[in-house]
Chain A
Amino acid sequence: MAAPTVTVARSTGRAPTALGGVGRVVEHHWRWYRRNWRATAVSSILQPLLFLLAFGVGFGALVGSGPQAAAATGGVPYLVWLAPALLAMSAAQSAAFDSTYPILSGFKWQRIYLAMSAGPITGAQVGLGVLAWTGMKMFWSGAVYVVVIAIFGGVQGPGIIVSLLAALLTGLAVASLITAFAATVENEGNAFSALFRFVVIPMTLFSGTFFPVDRLPEWVQPVVWISPLWHGTEVARGAALGTWQLLPTLGHLAVLVGLLVVGSVLVARLFTRRLAT
């Protein structure tokens, strides 16, 4: 056939910048959120509320204010002592949920990551955009949580705002590592349930959220040190109660930032690999 002379349509597509590509992925999720925020808002308020009622109010009454409790909490009411740690725990938990099945769905079920990377943005931009969105959603869920805690009388001062930021950093570090892991999961299988059973739940229980970790046997302590949630909890609680010390705090922050950097690099690499086969 002889190709007829045709005016080929001019494509208007441009490749967004590196940051612009990440921003487009965030915008996509924001579109989704605008449609579905009610469902997520209910769970992001309900879950903290249940934890506050069960542990802060119910269990807190049991803890009481005797000398033993005061020695553990530094003399503040149990709810006040618990609240900043709950912020960090809730961030880490929602990070774990948002970074498992939704990620696998983006690759395998809905395959929207494939659609995104068929355009001018790269696999790395898709991954980092997803991570950035997880962080944004985590931030405002945390802000709502702060308000709920304040209503229950668990807020002592403005330091809780710093706790919120520490919780965000903790959640992002956890999200980056789990998102990277999820990018390697091919099938639903047992990978995620094993992750929750052997990593997320132990981390939730033994990171100093509900009781100080020095109450644990000595041989367990090194295990606690590798938990990002413990580092985050220490910073969040120190900020809320004003009990933090410079060097340990810097150490905790360095661990969290280090994990986030490693996690982000892995996310960028593994998304690139998975989307280009």
Chain B
Amino acid sequence: MVIAARPVGVSGYGLVVSDALVQARGLRKSFGAFEAVRGIDVDVAPGEVFGFLGPNGAGKSSTMRMIACVSPRSAGTLSVLGMDPGSDGPRIRARIGVVPQLDNLDAELSVRENLEIYGRYFGLPRRHVREKATELLEFAQLTERAGDTVEELSGGMKRRLTIARSLVNDPELLLLDEPTTGLDPQARHLLWDRLYRLKREGVTQIVTTHYMDEAEQLCDRLVVMDGGVIAAEGAPAELIGRYSTREVLELRFDPEHRPSAAALERHADRVEELPDRFLLYTSDGERTQGDVVGAGFVPLSSLVRRSSLEDVFLRLTGRTLVD
């Protein structure tokens, strides 16, 4: 079920040693009778961008909150920056940055004040936070809005400010929970660019997302989560290679003349039936398209595309990521 892909060395004394920034073994979280995270193993190496990909309710946010040391684990072991969140929460939190799923900025303070006051929580001197705020405003492209109250900002700007705020203590590890949910494409690309710059500076990042394109864009390595467990683990391209074909042919039919999946099966390696379309997995989409039309099927529309993490997810769980 679980693959720990990071190299974990075994010392001569039989002790498992690891350079992982985050290491979880059999990590669980339950809320009463409901088990949100049901025993996961994770290793995040310094400098990498690690992703949790999965639909809503997969247990991503619960996992993130445990790593962020705000939610006590129910079972298993967890180490963050080499410390135990159970006993070293404040010391760990002093060295990480957190971008929560829902913005929690102080809407009645200015953009600059939000950055400065947050820096003060980390015990940083006033002069330092003033300089840091100027630098972060530039980074988040908010310099011109520095004096405005947060209420006046657009959703994308608020998100950028939340990310800027999470960097006020120069964190070694940045946790981003659904960083671009609800943003328009332009705002998303700007955010991705900023996260990429942070990666180049060596900031380790853990991202949760239910967007496959976001996972492919950002993550060096990711786990696919579903129902509180890890369904697969690897680099995006590796996962696609392992669980899907090179190309996908998408066919839409008139509901009156919709063929059965079985009828299409002999033209492809695998067929998935979705409410509005068929997905035919094949190494050569164009050729499959020719075969299907040649066999007398008349689709309303057809599209050949590359396989994505969405297809991996569909293969592993039988469900789509975003409905």
Contacts and interface: CB of A to CB of B under 8 A. Distances in A.
B201 interface: yes
Interface in B61-103: 68, 70-72, 89-91, 93-96, 98, 100, 102
A6 B202 contact: yes
B98 A118 contact: yes
B70 A275 contact: yes
A264 interface: no
B91 A120 contact: yes
B105 interface: yes
Interface in A114-152: 114-122
A27 to B, nearest CB: 6
Contacts of B102: 111
Given A32-B109, A118-B93, A7 B202 contact: yes
Given A3-B47, A11-B94, A32-B106, A120 B70 contact: no
Contacts of A115: 100, 104-106, 118, 165
B123 A14 contact: yes
A27 B204 contact: no
Contacts of B117: 27-28, 31
Contacts of B216: none
Q: How large is the interface on B (under 10, 10 to 19, 20 to 34, 35 or more residues)?
A: 35 or more
A232 to B, nearest CB: 31
A13 B124 contact: yes
Interface of A is mostly: loop
A246 interface: no
Contact of B172 (A4, A8, A15, A36): A8
A8 B122 contact: no
A8 B46 contact: yes
B223 to A, nearest CB: 14
Contacts of B89: 122
Contact of A116 (B31, B91, B121): B121
B121 to A, nearest CB: 4
Interface string B101-136: 010111111100100011011111000100000000
Contacts of B128: 12
Contacts of B31: 277
Interface of A: 1, 3-16, 20-21, 24, 27-28, 31-32, 35-36, 110-112, 114-122, 275-277
18 contacts: A8-B47, A11-B171, A13-B93, A14-B94, A16-B123, A28-B120, A28-B121, A31-B117, A32-B108, A32-B109, A110-B105, A118-B93, A118-B98, A119-B122, A119-B169, A120-B93, A121-B121, A122-B89
Interface of B: 31, 45-48, 68, 70-72, 89-91, 93-96, 98, 100, 102, 104-110, 113, 117-118, 120-124, 128, 165, 169-172, 201-204, 220-221, 235
Would you list the 8 A-B pairs with minimal beta carbon distance, nearest first? A13-B169, A6-B202, A111-B104, A13-B94, A120-B94, A13-B122, A14-B123, A11-B95
